[in-house]
Each structure stands twice: as structure tokens, then as C-alpha cells.
Structure 1
């Protein structure tokens, strides 16, 4: 057993955890370093699981954050297939699933998030799938070669990206969404319509304002989805993508403040000076927005660990990067910079025609840019980020004019 208060320990061996370990070594920490993960896979990135890897474009080797030998070279004690069951803050120790205890000097929680489950009858039938792990992505890839009709419950990013991969593989897809449009809470009506039109163009049966009553099956395997109005939608398989919940149970049981994530200051420290949080599980105070926010996207898991590592080593730091995410669906590629809550804007300004799938959309309030999304228009994220960060008022007619350089606004 590692002696008390001797090691820096990271709980969560995915992108955020692996990048935190890398950052600690790069910033000069040479003491004992332990990275603990429940999964048996080496730390990997999750975006390919619903994008390139799911579509069969990316190899398995590409998803890993580092090759296996890197952890040995960096003298990182990588413990896979191990779960931390409790944090003993008074003793500065972790209880592990094998019954042992592990001391820590500084602790980083990078426990991520888990798919929200749909609590309806039939939810445990074979053929009802969720997508978070590489094993789940592997199962879906195999399904695409064998099933004829997939039903996707939820028109969020995971649901739509998996739908695009399935349609590209020739699978018939029906998408069931409780709201009036896909991604409505994230993008608002004006831009959500773009994604509805895109998927309909590719033959997806989109059904909105739909509630799911149950999953129906025969011999223990799903055969259809019963809707709230009694309609039965036949299904050879079902994918549920209704969002994710942060894995906060460990932190909550330890008495750390939790509210839709582990609450941290702008330096990613919790109210315990020796415990930090990063990635999907962290709800961190953000200087730009003056409140804590939680961002479930790749860029956060990639960049927050640099700040967390510095904080663990005693530096005064602030994580103030503007949120960023991206998606690839069929011929649509896009990047989004900013943060807008539902109904938090008063106007969407388009630069270009959304119908051509080559445009930039800006969410604005009182003439200030809150967020921007470039669709099949590249090398513009930096000026968009600058508009968001400075929050200066701009001429909206010039914002909409492709002939006016964004950097001049």
C-alpha cells in the first residue's frame, strides 16, 4: 500500500484523467502518480465512439490517449479494472474495490458521466443499447451490419451522430424525440431546424413530441417501442441517447459540494484543498459567465486537466477557456464556440444560407455575440472566440455580411 499522503492520485482513467497525468509529469511532478479506472481499456477518447470509430473510418488504435508503454515510461501506476468505493478525507485515503486502501496527497476526480437510463418497462431487454464505452460502440458497429431497423430514442448529439453512422451503413432509422426539434435546448429553434432537415434529407424518420411508454419484446429481445399514444414502432434494436449524468456519487458520499456536478472554484479546486475535479464531472466557476458551469464535451476533458495539474502543484490558476465542441454528421461538419442557456439569446444571426450547409450562426443578446457555430466554414474559430470573450457590441448587419472580416468587428 502506498504510504499516507505520498501520492498524487487521479480517479477516472479516460481522456481527462490521462491528460492530467501527462500534465503533472510535464510540469515537473516526479512523485508517485496513480491513475485509477473502472474500465479495463487503456484511457481513450470518447468522441470517435459516435463518430469516426462507430462509422468504421477510424481504427481502434486511434482512440487511445497514449500507447500502453507511455504509462510505464512516465512511471504512472495505471490501475485498470479498479473502482474507488469511498474517499476517507480525514485519513487522506481511498477505499478500493479489492478491499485495499490507497493514500493520497492530492486527489483529482475525473469520474466523468454516465448515460441517463430510460426507466420504462422492457428497459432490460436484449437489444436496448446505450453508448458511452468502446465496448458499446463495438456492439453498435456489429449491429449496423445485421439489423434492418434501428430506433433511436433522443435527438441529442449522441443520438444524431449514431443515426448518421447507421444511415451511412444502410440501416433504416427512426428517431423519437420528446421536444419539437432535435437539439432544441442546445441550439434553439432556428438552428435546430437545420439538423432536422439534414436527417430527413438522408431518409431518417424523425418523430417529435413523442413519449416512450415501454419497450416491447419477444423471448427477451426487443422488437419494438410502444409510444405514449399506444403506437408501436417496430425495432430490430434500440439506442437510447437521452443525455448523461455526472458521476458524483463518490464525491457526494465524501461530503463534497455537488450540484449537477462536483462544484469547484475557477481553479478546479473543491472546498477540500486537497481534492480537485475536471472533465464531465466538474461544475466549475467560470470567470466569463460569473457562475459555475458544466460542459460535457471533448475540449473540456482535454484542456481542464492542464489547469487542474497546476492547481494540484500549488499554482494559482484559473480555467477560463470558452467552451468548444464539434460534430460530424453526413456531409455536415461544424464547430461551436460559446455557451448559451435555453432562451438566453434574443436573436440568431446567419452569415450565409443555412440551406446550403455552408454558413456561420451567431447567438446574440443586446448586440453581443454569445456563441458562434461554423458549418462547413473553416479557420474561423479564433475570431468567433474573440467576439464571445470580449462580449463587445457589434453591428449585426456587418456580422451577417460574409464580405466583412470577422476580425474587424
Structure 2
């Protein structure tokens, strides 16, 4: 939905501050779980496949919610949708303080996933609307904040759990910065006008985009790539705890992965901004993912922090670049935002299965190594399809999905 030009626009620095604050709050509810997995299992009785639902279900809802998000944005406006979604995310995080069993904990994960789904689906369109000539670097900033928040969640959750004597508090504390981000977003995000006839006529139904093979290809790539992230968030810390690492030390490993993700998510889109063809940088990101997963599978004790950082950098860079590439496909913010929402929706539905698949492979083999090989195969799959993302063919690939007047 277009923003009302009659309202005084907030200063750009304030909108950028909101981009960072919101991004920081979208991953800690996921990354805080892995380092505390052993303690949570002991406190709730969940097995590995049950623990997988703490990542699987929110990512499943992040995917399903993204399909509904364009309609929510059309009805409420992007600003109200994001504010409401942040409130849901904050409520889900706060309720973790009361989680006494696995069912309650899974329910809070579902609330958090629903909130994040709407934010992730609405925000790329807002960024393209507010920064039409700076999409790549601002999307990089947003992605870097998102990954940086993941690092904070993984690093601080074990510390707060130790200080409070409660794993529930180690998960619930993030409700406070979410509340701060909600206040900043209320102040910074531009007010949305009610859609007029022209805006409604220009609205691109999802059905038009879903008839394009390119939409499905973007979903598949985004899903396979984010599946690697989901499995690392869920199982990297337990993998090294099986190798004798402590909760705090394994949490620092997840944090190192997330810091590398943040750095690459900020750097790669900036480096790729000079040319519309992003494939060389995407290939570099995929190569780093391959090195990371191969290192975990073959030489896990040789240099754990290197494997986590290299793989994390590849995942963070690829995540940010795919968000940019989706926006590149269509010129208008509403259409580009709708395509990005669909890519994220279908992608997160696919990605949600990865932690469960990895857990099932662990149950079969007794080790996570076979799961790392599975994700190495996913990297090869994404690399083969990524090479087809020639910007010269974007218009042809989306032919028939252009907005038409009513």
C-alpha cells in the first residue's frame, strides 16, 4: 500500500534506526534455543525431534504467514501490520517466562513465528518504497541487523539463564528490546494512507505471480538455503555439546556464526550494488556455505569457529542477496514486495522441514554429520539454479505478472 505523501515524512536516519532495531529482534527467539537445548530437554522431556519443533513450527508459520501478509498489509497498511506483528512477537517472547512444559514452549514459538512472518513479508516493500535508489545497501543493513540479533540471542541466552537460574528467563528476556523496537517503529515508520482506486487497480494478486516459474524457483532456492540456517541454529550447539563442549562455549559458536552472517549480509549487497547482475557474489556466498558444511562433516574438531564463521558468512550473504534479487525482478514497490513475500513464504515453508530432517537423520545414525552432508547437497542444488538469475531475463521471466488497470 502506498504511503501518504501529505504526512510529514520521518527523517531518514530515524527510519534507518527502525530498520536496525526491528531486524535485531527477528532471530533471537530462534537462536537462543540451541545453546540451551540440553537444559530445555531436561526440563521439558522433549527429545531431539520434539526440540526440532521449536525451529520447525515458527519457520512453518513464517512461511504460511508470509502468504497472508500482503492481504494484511493491504487491509491495515504496512505500518500497522508491522506494529501489530511486533506486539505479537513481544507477547510470544514474554510468555516463555511461564513455559513449564514442551507444549507451552512450542506454542510461544508459534506466536513468535507469526509475528516475524508479517514483519519479514512487509518490510522489503517498505524499504523499496522509502529507499528506491538504495535498495541493496539498506536491505544489507536490515539483513545484517537480523543476523546480528541472532548472534546476541545465542550469546546472551546462556548468560542470562545462568544469572537468573532459569532457562525460561534466558528465552523470555528478549521481550524488553522488542518493546523498545515497537516504540521506535511507532515513531519512525511512515503513516500509510488508505488505498485509493488507482492503488487498488495496481495491486498485483499473488495468483499472477504464482503462475510464473521464476516465483517458484526463487521459493525453492530461498527455502533450501534457509534450511541450512535453520539446522545450524537448531543443531550446531548440540553437535558440539556431543563433542564435549559446554553450553556457554557452544553458544559462543552459534554467536560467531551469526556475527559472520551479519557482516556478510551487510558487505555483500554493498559490493554487489554496482551491477544488477549479482550472480558472482551469490556464487561466492554459496561456496562459503559449501566450505562450512564440508568442514563440519569432515573435520569438525579441526577449526570449529572457522567452519561456523565461513558457513555463516555464506548464509548471511546469500540471504541478503536473494532479498535484493527478488526486489530487482519488478520495478514497482508493491509488486516487488509481493514477490519478496511469496519467495519468503514458500521458502520458509521448505526451510522449516530442515531441522526435523536433520533430527530424523540424527535419530537414524546417532550423529549430525549426515545432516551436514544433506545440506551440502542443498547448496549444490541452489548453486545450479542461481546461475539462471540473469537480470537481462527478469522482465521475460515475470511477463504476464505486471499490474494491469481494473
Identify whether the pair has TM-score above 0.5, normalized to the shorter chain: no
User: Normalising by structure 1, what TM-score?
Assistant: 0.26
Considering Cα pairs closer than 8 Å and 6+ residues apart, tell me whether 1 or 2 has the greater RCO: 2
- In terms of fraction of residues, the more helix-rich structure is 2
TM-score calculated relative to the size of structure 2: 0.27
Which of these two proteins has the greater Rg computed from alpha carbons? 1
